[in-house]
Amino acid sequence: MNAKNFYIVATAPNEPSLQVKISGPYLTRKAAQADLEAAIDEAMDIDPSAKNYKYSISRVESRKPGVIQHMAAHA
């Protein structure tokens, strides 16, 4: 896995500095884009307030999985 990968990131509407990687890592932006709608739906299943968040795809340096992948690994 690369040190820099693409992640789907949720940003709190009233606190732009609060950002959470909800899904990823993805090797390409296209792969993240293909999973974007499903990741948002899954985030809203976990927390209904997720509908208020703004979602984007960002390339960040991290080797840790997004929240959804982390939860799936520990289910």
**Domain carrying residue 60:** 4-73
Which amino acid, one-letter code, is at 62? Answer: S
Residue 7 contacts residue 21 (beta carbons within 8 Å): yes
Query: 19 is written with which tokens?
Result: 């950002």
| Residue 70: C-alpha distances to residues 14, 40, 64 (Å) | 25, 15, 8
Q: What is the model's pLDDT at position 63?
A: 76
* pLDDT at residue 66 is higher than 90: no
Model confidence over 10-51: pLDDT tens digits?
999 999 898 989 999 999 999 999 999 999 999 999 889 999
Domain count for the chain, please give it: 1
Q: What angle do CA 43, 38, 28 make, to 5 degrees?
A: 110
Quick one: 53 exposed, middle or buried, by C-beta within 10 A (0-12, 13-18, 19+)?
buried
Q: What is the model's pLDDT at position 65?
A: 83
Question: Against a cut of 0.95, is the pTM above it?
Answer: no
